[in-house]
Amino acid sequence: MLVVSLVGFMLAVQYNSLNHQPAERDTRDIWAIRNEIAEQKQAQSELLKEIRDMDHTLYTYERAKSEDPEMALIETVDDLKKRAGFTSLTGPGIEIEIQPSPESIALGLPIETIPADLLTRFINDVNRMSGLIIEIDSKRYTILSAIRDINGVTTVNGLNVKNPPFTIKIVTETFEDSEKVYNYLLASPLHDDFYIDNLIIDIHEPSEQIELNGWTERVDMMYLQQLPKGDN
């Protein structure tokens, strides 16, 4: 009797499973799903890299502070400033000129600021690749940065982006990475989006020496307070 009941229960579960329909079907094609999975994997990879970097910083500080605590603290602060984009740097990378299209110049059309959403889309597309350091029109782009439209003018870090032409610089970890970014941008569909706004993307070949400015804006410490000397 127990065996019969168990078999009946299993058949009922199987019947319900076969006849159960999801409330909503995912109607996206396979490539859209693959792209979303790739984006999620990229985000996970970047998070893991950040965790490894932080672990390395803590390990270096713990190892050095027993020998020279003051020097260890200075080196740690300098390293964090570099990662946050507060210092200038030079490395392999590429330069990209955002220019008015030849047709707009020939027709005498007014040269207007690049739309904020177009610039944001460009930066987000480039940032699919990890380890990139970006400067937009001499303004360092970091995790603290914001691209906004203020009174019809596109801004980065609250500073106006001048009307085209202007330069976007990208520094990569290796020269091989610069070549990957270069080839990726050459084939990017963003060229069509820029052309609709009477703009073109002129991508220079990779270089071993691209110099970026550091973040020059003041950072407000809203929730941090300095302790009086002698307090722990």
Q: Per 3-state DSSP, what percentage of the chain is helix, strand, and coil (rounded to 5)?
A: 45, 20, 35
Q: How does pLDDT run across 153-179, given as a tens digit for each residue?
A: 999 988 999 999 999 999 999 999 999
Q: How far apart are CA 113 and CA 162, in angstroms?
A: 7
Q: Give the whole-number percent of the chain exceeding pLDDT 90.
A: 38
Q: What is the pLDDT at residue 15?
A: 52
Would you say the pTM of this structure is higher than 0.85? no
CA distances to 4, 9, 14, 20, 145 from 17, in Å = 20, 12, 5, 5, 49
